Amino acid sequence: MMREQTVIQTKIRHLKMNAPLCVDAGTKCEDVLNRMKEERRSCVLVCQGSKCIGIFTERDFLNRILGKKVDLQRPVDDFMSKEPRVLTLDDTVGQAIRIMQEHGYRNVALVDQQGNCSGLLQIRNVIDFLAELFPEEVLNASPRQQFQDTDGA
């Protein structure tokens, strides 16, 4: 029970996270895609000044651009998810897990109390935290474990 409480109470600020890749609103989609590729990132935060106004992910690329006749000179704003759900560094891992699960998010923008961009929480950060918290369960899991549903990559 102690570890479950840790998940519920640990603040996001205590997770290991990389600095987010941020781009300015109005940046050409082609430039954003090139930066994502160069920096091996799965998403970018789109900012207007210091405010996060959107998020552009691999999923946005797949659903809104790939296989369509799209002018990649258009701004990323045309393809991003606008006004994304955000959390703060003082929200808990439990809250993050609930929001990610309820909405199918893999990435959640983090903002400070004034709404300024302060980070990016990715599902891999949560998984790494849980793996460290439950090492015996992770290390002893059967490699032939069967899952009910398949999950796309």
**pLDDT tens figures, 52-97:** 999 999 999 999 999 999 999 999 999 999 999 999 999 999 999 9
**Contact assessment for residue 110 and residue 118, using Cβ atoms and an 8 Å cutoff:** yes
For the whole model, what pTM was predicted?
0.83
**Contact assessment for residue 23 and residue 76, using Cβ atoms and an 8 Å cutoff:** yes
CATH of segment(s) 2-135: 3.10.580.10
Q: Which is it for strands 107-111 and 51-57: parallel, antiparallel or unpaired?
A: unpaired
- Contact partners, residue 15, CB within 8 Å, separation at least 6: 93, 121, 125, 126, 128, 129
Taken in order 126, 129, 134, 135, the sign of the CA dihedral is positive
* pLDDT digits 0-9 by tens, 96-136: 999 999 999 999 999 998 889 999 999 999 999 998 888 76
